[in-house]
């Protein structure tokens, strides 16, 4: 089977690689907060984008920082599990639900790492929101790739191009073979495409296909967000599900534009073949993304 963006893979991309989540996602005090995955790597779920971590005797790595209150809960949990300082706090991209906890983690971290665009985008967003005084920025920056040995683990970061924003990184724990995707995957959930930060749906589709090709069936992926019925971890088939949803949205808007429809004419509560993205609480998100992609296609990003 050819993995092209125009191929809707209903059996694999939409059905496989998603385990049902049987327990509520409590923010504080739940055993579900710290979930081990493989080889000292795991996740923390709170309010905001999923935090990834590596906790071992000779290394402590944290990916993303959520909001201050959940960052504090995560930090306390990490300190119960490790007496080390954080070697590296990594920001997958600049959005506040992934970086607002930097002031909590920052004093306990030796380095904060991100793609070179992240501090610039974070600062611009903070200026627009009037939250400049609440920011802590990454100081170790990279353009294409970055890597480091952390104890007996090797960590690499890669920038694949403009997608969700213009500063998204994929962080790979190489020996554990666990890859943190940041917000490059919203698992079976409507996403946020940040045109103002250089995001592009066409680029996002290409990025997902390239990441799919670079990893294997053995890789476990961590996602920034997920539909409550799905997990924040999964397989690379989930990347194709995300790709196909983006493709479906683009084709829906493209065909409407070609038929002379207005953006309001294009607003639908259900996108055929993608019902798991279209629950009642996600309708506003679907409408928002139709408007955003319409703007991208008619006005440029």
252 falls within a domain: no
Q: What is the predicted pLDDT for the residue at 38?
A: 97
pLDDT for 88-113, tens place per residue?
Answer: 999 999 999 999 999 999 999 999 99
DSSP-H helix ranges across the chain: 68-81, 96-99, 102-105, 117-129, 201-214, 237-258, 263-266, 283-299
175 falls within a domain: yes
**Residue 198: which CATH number?**
3.60.15.10
Q: What is the predicted pLDDT for the residue at 284?
A: 81
Average pLDDT over residues 211-225: 98
C-beta of residue 203 within 8 angstroms of C-beta of residue 152: no
pLDDT at residue 22 is higher than 90: no
pLDDT at residue 16 is higher than 80: no
94 falls within a domain: yes
28 falls within a domain: no
242 falls within a domain: no
Quick one: what percent of the chain has pLDDT higher than 70?
A: 87
pLDDT for 163-195, tens place per residue?
Answer: 999 999 999 999 999 999 999 999 999 999 999
Question: Long-range contacts of range 231-236, CB-CB < 8 Å, 24 or more positions apart?
Answer: 231/18, 231/19, 231/20, 231/21, 231/187, 232/43, 232/45, 232/50, 232/187, 233/35, 233/37, 233/43, 234/17, 234/18, 234/19, 234/187, 235/16, 235/17, 236/17, 236/211, 236/212
DSSP for residue 109: B
110 falls within a domain: yes
pLDDT at residue 263 is higher than 60: yes
C-beta of residue 157 within 8 angstroms of C-beta of residue 64: no
C-beta of residue 138 within 8 angstroms of C-beta of residue 151: no
Q: What is the predicted pLDDT for the residue at 281?
A: 57
Q: For CA atoms 128, 129, 134, 135, give the dihedral sign.
A: negative
290 falls within a domain: no
Q: How confident is the model at residue 277 (pLDDT cuts 50, 70, 90)?
A: confident
C-beta of residue 53 within 8 angstroms of C-beta of residue 63: yes
For residue 206, which of 271, 258, 161 has the smallest C-alpha distance? 161
Please give the residue range of the domain that contains residue 130.
34-237
Please count the structural domains in the chain: 1
pLDDT for 72-94, tens place per residue?
Answer: 999 999 999 999 999 999 999 99
191 falls within a domain: yes
Tokens of 196: 């103002």
Quote the mean pLDDT of the chain.
88
pLDDT at residue 17 is higher than 80: no
Q: Across the chain, which distance is largest between two alpha carbons, in Å?
A: 62
């Amino acid at each position: 089977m050819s993995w092209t963006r125009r191929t809707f893979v209903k059996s694999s991309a939409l059905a496989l690689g998603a385990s049902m989540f049987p327990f509520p996602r409590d923010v504080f005090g739940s055993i579900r907060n710290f979930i081990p995955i493989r080889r000292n790597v795991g996740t923390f779920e709170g309010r905001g984008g999923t935090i990834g971590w590596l906790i071992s005797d000779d290394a402590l790595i944290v990916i993303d920082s959520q909001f201050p209150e959940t960052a504090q809960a995560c930090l306390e949990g990490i300190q119960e599990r490790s007496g080390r300082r954080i070697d590296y706090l990594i920001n997958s991209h600049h959005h506040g639900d992934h970086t607002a906890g930097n002031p909590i983690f920052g004093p306990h971290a030796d380095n904060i790492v991100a793609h070179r665009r992240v501090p610039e985008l974070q600062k611009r967003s903070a200026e627009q929101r009037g939250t400049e005084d609440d920011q802590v920025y990454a100081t170790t920056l990279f353009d294409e790739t970055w890597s480091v040995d952390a104890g007996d683990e090797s960590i690499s970061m890669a920038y694949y191009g403009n997608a969700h924003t213009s500063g998204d990184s994929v962080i790979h724990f190489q020996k554990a073979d666990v890859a943190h995707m940041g917000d490059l995957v919203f698992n079976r959930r409507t996403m946020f495409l940040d045109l103002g930060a250089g995001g592009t749906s066409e680029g996002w589709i290409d990025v997902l296909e390239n990441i799919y090709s670079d990893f294997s069936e053995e890789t476990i992926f961590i996602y920034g967000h997920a539909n409550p019925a799905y997990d924040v971890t999964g397989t690379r088939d989930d990347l194709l599900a995300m790709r196909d949803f983006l493709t479906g949205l683009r084709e829906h808007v493209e065909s409407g534009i070609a038929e002379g429809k207005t953006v309001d004419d294009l607003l639908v509560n259900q996108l055929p073949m993608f019902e798991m993205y279209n629950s009642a609480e996600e309708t506003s998100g679907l409408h928002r993304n139709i408007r955003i992609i319409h703007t991208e296609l008619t006005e440029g990003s």
